[in-house]
């Protein structure tokens, strides 16, 4: 079975949509990233349009976090390129165009920082060297906290929030920042269904206003509920299309099937990495 490897926004366009083609917010061309001998991404081509919510799925170690880091300019590609609204990713990040909502385990929840201060970090790129907070920074943070429904909890230490509230605090940071692109790494892990629905409504609102949203998730069943399009990743893109296309059994077998626990290295032991190879 040949994998679908379009990787293009064109593929995600609804049938019959003859609207003029938009300029992608994110354009990734032939991107490969290695950590020593480990191939994390291998020839990834992907374009994401403004105003779309894209689900990113793939097994552990398939390269999702590396893809996020590449979009943020936090890893150096071995080859290929990433362009964010025509800019180099590091420059786009320093200009506040991209915002990241980290996985829960990547955050020190004991750190003495309030919800308001987390949101204020989204303003750092706009402040001067001394980071003097201006009235427009306060206004942007207040407005962002209101938007995510955390005004009443603004002065609470970040660790003293529920899982869903913690995610909303980081989304508030992205809103305060005025980011055009929001990357969310496993935002629904440890979050109840009601909080998940609240976050999704918020993300839909942001997408309707032109924000590009890329969400990694292991909750495959939730994907069709929120994703305008989906990417199935296994070091390279197996599918970029609708959620239903990404969830076809034969595609899932390629991405999550035999050999899934084997390390994906440049020189896998015999039999390991067969799924990835099959997808080539």
x-or-dash string of contact with ligand ATP, 171-190, rule CB under 6 A: --------------------
Helix pair 193-208, 163-177: axis angle to 10 deg: 10
Cβ proximity to ligand ATP, 154 vs 183, nearer residue: 183
- Residue 253 has φ and ψ, to the nearest 5°, of -65, -40
Dihedral over Cα of 178, 69, 46, 246: its sign: negative
Cβ proximity to ligand ATP, 74 vs 113, nearer residue: 74
267 is a site residue for ligand ATP (CB under 6 A): no
82 is a site residue for ligand ATP (CB under 6 A): no
Figure out which of the listed residues 11, 38, 107, 278 binds ligand ATP, where binding follows CB under 6 A.
Answer: 38
Figure out which of the listed residues 65, 99, 212, 251 binds ligand ATP, where binding follows CB under 6 A.
Answer: 65
Strand partners, 159: none
Q: How many residues sit close enough to ligand ATP to count as binding (CB under 6 A)?
A: 12
Pairing label, strands 229-234, 236-241: antiparallel
Cβ proximity to ligand ATP, 149 vs 263, nearer residue: 263
Strand partners, 27: 47, 83
Figure out which of the listed residues 9, 28, 31, 40 binds ligand ATP, where binding follows CB under 6 A.
Answer: 40
Cβ proximity to ligand ATP, 70 vs 165, nearer residue: 70
- Here the tokens at position 166 are 């913690």
Cβ proximity to ligand ATP, 11 vs 189, nearer residue: 189
Cβ partners under 8 Å of residue 44, min gap 6:
7, 28, 30, 31, 32, 63, 67, 80, 233, 236, 237
- Residues that bind ligand ATP in the complex, under the rule CB under 6 A: 35, 38, 40, 58, 60-66, 264
């Amino acid at each position: 079975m040949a994998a679908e490897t379009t990787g293009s926004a064109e593929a995600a366009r609804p049938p019959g949509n003859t609207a003029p083609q938009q300029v992608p917010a994110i354009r990734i061309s032939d991107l490969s990233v290695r950590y020593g001998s480990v191939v994390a991404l291998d020839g990834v081509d992907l374009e994401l349009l403004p105003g779309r919510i894209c689900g990113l799925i793939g097994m552990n170690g398939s390269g999702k976090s590396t893809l996020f880091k590449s979009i943020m300019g936090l890893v150096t590609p071995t080859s290929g390129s990433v362009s964010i609204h025509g800019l180099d990713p590091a420059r786009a990040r320093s200009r506040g165009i991209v915002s990241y909502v980290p996985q829960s385990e990547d955050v020190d929840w004991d750190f003495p920082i309030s919800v308001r201060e987390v949101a204020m970090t989204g303003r750092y790129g706009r402040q001067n060297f001394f980071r003097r907070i201006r009235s427009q920074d306060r206004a942007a943070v207040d407005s962002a906290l209101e938007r995510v429904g955390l005004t009443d909890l603004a002065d609470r230490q970040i660790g003293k929030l529920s899982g869903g509230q913690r995610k909303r605090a980081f989304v508030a940071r992205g809103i305060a920042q005025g980011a055009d692109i929001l990357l969310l790494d496993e935002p629904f892990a440890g979050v109840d269904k009601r909080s998940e629905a609240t976050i999704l409504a918020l993300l839909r609102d942001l997408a309707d206003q032109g924000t590009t949203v890329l969400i990694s998730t292991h909750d495959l069943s939730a994907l069709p509920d929120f994703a305008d399009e989906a990417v199935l990743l296994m070091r390279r893109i197996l599918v970029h299309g609708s959620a239903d296309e990404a969830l076809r059994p034969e595609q899932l077998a390629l991405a999550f099937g035999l050999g899934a626990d084997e390390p994906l290295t440049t020189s896998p032991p015999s039999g390991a990495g067969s799924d990835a190879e099959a997808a080539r």
